[in-house]
Amino acid sequence: MSRPWSLFDDHLRLAVRLTPNGGRDALDGIEAGGEGEALLKARVTAVPEKGKANKALILLIAKSLRIPKSSVSLVSGETARKKILRIDGDPEDLVKKLEIFLG
């Protein structure tokens, strides 16, 4: 399976499938989406109201990668389960952190 990220010069983009109101905040590995693309599975306890789940996702990703939450932003999918996040920083360093975290 491919990886759920794309590398750019100064950032990477991460494809995520978010489950709000998921009982706990966690990253649950990688899965194939409906079109065969790889998605990082994430769940947060926050409800999908007024951007609360999106904010919780950004905080979860930032904590998991040990980077400032200001480095993580939502590119698309504000009201959808599938989201694209932009993570600013050295892309190769960010990939290493993701691979270590995901095993």
Torsion of CA 7, 82, 71, 95, to 10 degrees: -40
Kindly report, residue by residue over 60-97, the tens digit of the pLDDT.
Answer: 999 999 999 999 999 999 999 999 999 999 999 999 99
Kindly report, residue by residue over 30-44, the tens digit of the pLDDT.
Answer: 999 888 899 999 999
Instruction: State residue 33's pLDDT score.
Output: 85
* DSSP symbols for 43-98: E-SS-SSTTHHHHHHHHHHHHHHT--GGGEEEEE-TTSSEEEEEEES-HHHHHHHH
Q: What is the mean pLDDT of the chain?
A: 93
Instruction: State residue 11's pLDDT score.
Output: 95
Confidence category of residue 103, pLDDT binned at 50, 70, 90:
confident
Instruction: State residue 2's pLDDT score.
Output: 81
Confidence category of residue 1, pLDDT binned at 50, 70, 90:
low
Instruction: State residue 35's pLDDT score.
Output: 83
